[in-house]
């Protein structure tokens, strides 16, 4: 397995492309917008520069990593003759189903199709293809170049051979793959999102302020960042989407998103990406300073 395509050049997509390319794989990074591809490649270059400054890589490593990535705005050109395609588009069911229908039509029959979804059923995604045995979840954590975990989610029809292949491939990326079953939210978000939602409820109910809630969790529970700050970095719209998937999947009120979260998303307060969430990131230098702590 040498040729990899990544669909989506956003935060997760460019991070996944970065990791594969740095490990010597030839990567096609595909996005419908050239501006997104340019931004994604700039992010990869900036992250490589950080690693270079820390003497974690050499100039030659940086050059070879960038040389291993080719960008495409045409899906057909970007995914043909690939060994593996990793979809990292926005966390929207209809978008993902359409992408997988197209991938199934375009890709070679032996190509493995993976999704970086953080909550949507692998079985449901696989059902729109003619190769459900070759569809699997690869849920990378953000920031991808730093975080070691990859949740490997095996759908109802995913073959043991494909699961083994993706587990071993993840190890070659320097990651720690952990196999989980295909239920809404998997493991990471089934535990994380209710905690974030409860932190938002605590704020909504006036128990404490934003910094106070985060301080309690950081200093009292040894979390590297508080749940409200983490929600800002994930994206409040993404948090809402994941909670809705779990609420719809389990029909359990404990997964119902807090009204404050719903209102903030409707108001466009999405966290770091919009410049404001539970914290203010409107000054670009401030946002970069905060983000640099975790890169």
Catalytic residues: 118, 139, 151, 189
11 assigned ligand-binding residue: yes
Q: Is 26 annotated as a binding residue?
A: no
Q: Is 10 annotated as a binding residue?
A: yes
- Provide the Cα torsion 5, 153, 146, 235; round to 10°: 90
Per the annotation, does 157 bind a ligand? no
CA distance 141 to 97: 22
Determine whether the annotation assigns residue 244 to a binding site: no
Q: Does residue 142 have a known ligand-binding role?
A: yes
Distance CA 154, CA 133 (A): 9
Give the DSSP H or E segment for 72: strand 69-72
Cα diameter, the chain: 56
SS3 category, 122:
helix
**Does 163 show up as a binding residue in the annotation?**
no
Q: How far is CA 233 from CA 139, 245, 269, in A?
A: 17, 20, 12
Q: Is 64 annotated as a binding residue?
A: no
Angle at the Cα of 150 (from 149 to 152), degrees rounded to 5? 140
Which of 166, 180, 189, 177 lies closest to 246, judged by CA?
189
Please indicate if the annotation marks 31 as binding a ligand. yes
Annotated binding residue at 96?
yes
Q: How far apart are CA 44 and CA 140, in angstroms?
A: 16
Contact 118, 188 (CB under 8 A): yes
Helices 11-22 and 59-67: crossing angle, nearest 10°? 110
How crowded is the C-beta side of 52, counted as CA atoms within 13 Å?
14
Question: Is 221 labeled as ligand-binding?
Answer: no
User: Binding site annotation covers 226?
Assistant: no
Q: Single out the residue of 279, 271, 274, 241 nearest to residue 257, CA to CA.
A: 241
Q: Which residues are annotated as a binding site for NAD(+)?
A: 8-13, 31, 91, 96, 118, 142, 273
């Amino acid at each position: 397995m040498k040729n990899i395509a990544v669909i989506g050049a956003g935060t997760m997509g460019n991070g996944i492309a970065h990791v594969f390319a740095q490990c010597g794989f030839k990567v096609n990074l595909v996005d419908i917008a050239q501006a997104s591809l340019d931004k994604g490649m700039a992010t990869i270059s900036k992250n490589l520069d950080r690693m270079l400054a820390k003497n974690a890589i050499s100039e030659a490593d940086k050059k070879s990593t960038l040389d291993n990535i080719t960008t495409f705005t045409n899906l057909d050109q970007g995914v043909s003759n690939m060994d593996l395609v990793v979809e990292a588009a926005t966390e929207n069911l209809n978008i993902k189903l359409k992408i997988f229908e197209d991938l199934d039509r375009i890709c070679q029959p032996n190509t493995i199709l993976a999704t970086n979804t953080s909550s949507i059923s692998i079985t449901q995604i696989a059902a729109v293809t003619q190769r459900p045995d070759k569809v699997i979840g690869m849920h990378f954590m953000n920031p991808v170049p730093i975080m070691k975990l990859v949740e490997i989610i095996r759908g109802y029809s995913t073959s043991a051979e494909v699961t083994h292949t993706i587990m071993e491939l993840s190890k070659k990326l320097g990651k720690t793959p952990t196999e989980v079953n295909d239920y809404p939210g998997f493991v990471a978000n089934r535990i994380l999102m209710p905690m974030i939602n409860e932190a938002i409820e605590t704020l909504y109910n006036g128990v404490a302020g934003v910094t106070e809630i985060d301080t309690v969790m950081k200093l009292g529970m040894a979390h590297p960042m508080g749940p409200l700050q983490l929600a800002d970095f994930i994206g409040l719209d993404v948090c809402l989407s994941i909670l809705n998937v779990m609420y719809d999947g389990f029909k359990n009120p404990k997964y119902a998103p807090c009204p404050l979260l719903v209102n903030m998303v409707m108001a466009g307060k999405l966290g770091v990406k919009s410049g404001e969430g539970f914290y203010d990131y409107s000054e670009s230098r401030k946002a970069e300073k905060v983000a640099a702590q975790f890169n």
